[in-house]
Amino acid sequence: MQIYAPDGAVGPPSSLRQPGRPVLTGLRIGVLDNAKPNARLVMERAASQIAARTGATVTLVTDKGPGHNAATACSDEVLDRLQKEVDLVITGSAD
Amino acid sequence: MTLIEVADTPDALDALLAERGWGDGLPIVAPTPERVDAMLGALGDVDPDEVVATLPPRFGEATRRIIAVNAVMAGCAPEHLPVVISAVRALARPEVNLRGVNATTHCVAPLLIVHGEAARRGGYNGGTGAFGPGNRANATTGRAVRLVLLHVAGAVPGPGDASTQGGPAKYTYCVAEHIDATPWQGYAASVGVDAPSAVTVHCGEGPHNVHDMESSEPEAILDKVASAMATMGHNNVVISQGEFFLALCPEHAATIASAGWSRRDVQSYVFQRARLPAGRVRAAFQSRAWEPWMHAVPDDDLLPVTAHPDHIRVFVCGGAGKHSSVIPSWGMTKSVTLPVEP
């Protein structure tokens, strides 16, 4: 017999991913804390170690904004700051 | 639409599901073109290939045909398909936050509440044993939505669903509102959906039992409801937008209403009573997604477990007996009620 596959097509991506930066020297690193316990500690350590190894600088550490947490995107204000003030962001995804 | 050739035996079908990573672990009905066409026949003059919703985290496109495929697999009858489609449409609303619902470590599953004519026509159970088992409409409609989430949304345990322990509600979770035993306006109309048929999706935990065999006063029953809500273990205690669905059994609802209490009175009273010492919550949780005013509550004062009485949603279901239930949400999600439409 024949049956239909139950998964269907995948829709178009809602946004395009920025290409990776080949060299980090001189870039500004931001840390976006997703508010999970110890996330900021781990990500700040990772950011400072990347900065030490590559010559980048950690210039911004922020949470996602009032009322935002690991289950949501950050606020528009925080996104705007990240876009203006840093070249790459370390964050925790999902939950 | 991809068609797959498979031998017409249960073993061959099971092997195919295992190989592709499909299904929920239970046997399925083979979604042959004939069965899927018969299922779609219930919808009338609509485009079966129109995308109803795009579902994260996989961002699969849920067309009516794909939803029908999953409804066949779940064992639905054709008259259940419009409810399944409407539930999928509701789950895709941004306030549901389906990406989070599907991907979180929490045990959340979408509860479907079917209202009105669709509940009556489809044979949904809002009476004795409404949360199951034993009723085809409830069991297969909830299962069809789960299969859509597994297959189309990609909410597969591990890569797409990080739930630490999972939960039985992730197999199927669907009831009808017991409108004949509801002493107030029907739930859907109470939230502004004045349609002959509607479906509510509420992404939450399994039902927490509230047992009261003896009280004849609303306060005594609702104090027990508040006690079931005011615990430290659910997400809402630190996420103030969280909702609680209060599924009152008909006897509790009748006792409360016969004292002259409205649904609004129930919401307000429970909001006042379901509270925890603010300092105790602060000491237990560093991360708190509260309304600004909640941060200002002194440690010695009692803090409500949600920010507003409107977050306490009251409907009636169940049969004889005096057991109601409380269903806390996952937290970062809001319930949605939509008319049942193909």
Would you call A4 and B69 a contact, using CB atoms and an 8 Å cutoff? yes
- Nearest chain B residue to A64, by CA: B289
Q: Which of B8, B63, B289 lies nearest to residue A69, judging by beta carbons?
A: B289
Q: Which of B5, B58, B151 lies nearest to residue A6, judging by beta carbons?
A: B151
Query: CA of B211 to nearest chain A CA: how many angstroms apart?
Result: 33
Mean pLDDT of chain B: 96
Q: How many helices (H) and strands (E) does chain A have?
A: 2, 4
Would you call A68 and B289 a contact, using CB atoms and an 8 Å cutoff? yes
Query: CA of A25 to nearest chain B CA: how many angstroms apart?
Result: 34
- The dihedral built from the CA positions of residue B18, B21, B25 and B29, taken in this order, carries a sign that is negative
The pLDDT score that the predictor gives to residue B287 is 80
Distances from the Cα of A4 to the Cα of B33, B51, B234, angstroms: 7, 17, 39
Q: In the predicted model, is pLDDT for residue A16 greater than 80? A: no
Q: Distance (Å, rounded) from C-alpha A45 to C-alpha B194? A: 54
Instruction: Provide the whole-model pTM.
Output: 0.91
Mean pLDDT in residue range A23-42: 91
The pLDDT score that the predictor gives to residue A37 is 82
Q: Distance (Å, rounded) from C-alpha A35 to C-alpha B11? A: 47
Q: Distance (Å, rounded) from C-alpha B20 to C-alpha B7? A: 15
In chain B, what are the domain boundaries? 10-339
The pLDDT score that the predictor gives to residue B50 is 97
pLDDT band at residue B168 under the 50/70/90 scheme: very high
Cα–chain center distance at B161: 17
What 3-state DSSP class applies to A7? coil
b or e along B61-96 (b: 16 or more beta carbons within 10 Å of the residue's beta carbon)?
A: bbbbbbbbbbbbbbbbbbebbbbbbbbbbbbbeeeb
Name the percent of chain B lying above pLDDT 90. 97
Would you call A7 and B66 a contact, using CB atoms and an 8 Å cutoff? yes
- Nearest chain A residue to B286, by CA: A37
Neighbours of B247 (CB within 10 A): 28
- The tokens for B153 are 């949304």
- B residues 166..225 contacting A (CB < 8 A): none
Q: Distance (Å, rounded) from C-alpha B230 to C-alpha B222? A: 12
Q: In the predicted model, is pLDDT for residue A14 greater than 70? A: no
Q: Which of A2, A71, A94 lies nearest to residue B5, judging by beta carbons?
A: A2
Query: CA of B185 to nearest chain A CA: how many angstroms apart?
Result: 33
The pLDDT score that the predictor gives to residue A71 is 80
Q: What is the pLDDT of residues B92-128, one digit of tens each?
A: 999 999 999 999 999 999 999 999 999 999 999 999 9
Would you call B1 and A8 a contact, using CB atoms and an 8 Å cutoff? yes
Mean pLDDT in residue range A7-24: 80
What 3-state DSSP class applies to A35? coil
Q: What is the ipTM of this complex?
A: 0.90
Would you call B59 and A69 a contact, using CB atoms and an 8 Å cutoff? no
Would you call B59 and A66 a contact, using CB atoms and an 8 Å cutoff? no
Query: CA of A71 to nearest chain B CA: how many angstroms apart?
Result: 6
3-state secondary structure chain B: CCEEECCCCHHHHHHHHHHHCCCCCCCCCCCCHHHHHHHHHHHCCCCCCCEEEEECCCCEEEEHHHHHHHHHHHCCCHHHHHHHHHHHHHHCCHHHCHHHHHHCCCCCEEEEEEEEHHHHHHCCCCCCCCCCCCCHHHHHHHHHHHHHHHHCCCCCECCCECCCCCCHHHCCCEEECCHHHCCCCCHHHHCCCCCCEEEEEEEECCCEEEECCCCCCHHHHHHHHHHHHCCCCCHHHHECCCCEEEEECHHHHHHHHHCCCCHHHHHHHHHHHCEEEHHHHHHHCCCCECCHHHHCCCCCCEEECCCCHHHEEEEECCCCCCEEEEEEECCCCCCEEEECCC
Query: What length does chain A have?
Result: 95
The pLDDT score that the predictor gives to residue A94 is 60
pLDDT band at residue A42 under the 50/70/90 scheme: very high
Mean pLDDT in residue range A9-29: 82
Least trusted range by pLDDT, from A65-79, B151-165, B236-250, B309-323: A65-79
The pLDDT score that the predictor gives to residue B185 is 97
Would you call A72 and B100 a contact, using CB atoms and an 8 Å cutoff? yes
- The tokens for B45 are 């003059």
The pLDDT score that the predictor gives to residue B289 is 86
CB distance B123 to B78 below 8 Å: no
The pLDDT score that the predictor gives to residue B274 is 98
- The tokens for B71 are 């409804």
Q: What is the pLDDT of residues B209-232, one digit of tens each?
A: 999 999 999 999 999 999 999 999
Establish whether the linkage from the previous residue to B57 is cis, with ω within 30° of 0. yes
Chain B residues near residue A17 by CB distance under 8 angstroms: none
Chain A residues near residue B6 by CB distance under 8 angstroms: 1-3
- B residues 143..162 contacting A (CB < 8 A): 147, 151-152, 162
Q: What is the pLDDT of residues B234-293, one digit of tens each?
A: 999 999 999 999 999 999 999 999 999 999 999 999 999 999 999 999 999 988 889 989
pLDDT band at residue B62 under the 50/70/90 scheme: very high
Would you call A3 and B97 a contact, using CB atoms and an 8 Å cutoff? no
Q: What is the pLDDT of residues B8-28, one digit of tens each?
A: 999 999 999 999 999 999 999
Would you call A69 and B332 a contact, using CB atoms and an 8 Å cutoff? yes
Mean pLDDT in residue range A45-61: 93
CB distance B335 to B200 below 8 Å: yes
What letter represents residue B242's amino acid?
A: G
Q: In the predicted model, is pLDDT for residue A84 greater than 80? A: yes
Task: For residue B113, list its beta bridge partners.
Answer: B175, B200
Mean pLDDT in residue range B168-178: 98
